[in-house]
Amino acid sequence: MISGRRPEVSISIENSLEIANEEAIDSASKQAFILDRPRIKQLVSLILDNENVKWAHIGVVFSTHDFVRDLNRTYLGHDFETDVLSFVIDETDRGLEGEVYIDVETALERHVEFNSTFKSEIERYVAHGVLHLAGYRDASEEDKSKMHSLEDFYVAQL
């Protein structure tokens, strides 16, 4: 690394998400989760390092339907909900700086549909967003399949 600084991952929770002691509460099911920050940071590092992406800082933001949809509409011109958004902020000599926004409400609503736990659904969203930062796209069925396989691979490595 230039300047000797190590890459870092920051994790934050958008203010409108209902939070109590780092737990997000789904009001319908009262299902709770503990945000495993070290595991999420490990997942981000694992993906970017294994994909040979020189990176400096990645922010992971946990939020709501409304917040993520507003970002989708404002920055991408898409007026619909999505589970995860990724933005490259800058690419400097130190490496990639980017942000991943996770819609926690979507994970709470859909994890059962995929026969998954809420925690593993969140990890899949993180992996998906970071893979976008690494340059992967999911516009075609072939691309979607490749990303899904990589998500499975990286989450299984934790």
Q: What is the pLDDT of residues 93-106, one digit of tens each?
A: 999 999 999 999 89
Its pTM stands at 0.86
86 and 100 Cβ atoms separated by less than 8 Å: yes
**Contact status, residue 53 vs residue 7, Cβ threshold 8 Å:** no
CATH homologous superfamily for the domain 2-156: Metalloproteases ("zincins"), catalytic domain (3.40.390.30)
Residue 16 confidence (pLDDT): 65
User: Three-state DSSP class for 81?
Assistant: coil
10-37 residues labelled b (16+ CB within 10 A) or e (exposed): ebebbeebeeeeeebebeeeeeebebbe
Q: List, for residues 88-137, the tens digit of each pLDDT value.
A: 999 999 999 999 999 998 988 888 898 888 888 999 999 999 999 999 99
Nearest to 43 by CA among 111, 125, 142, 149: 125
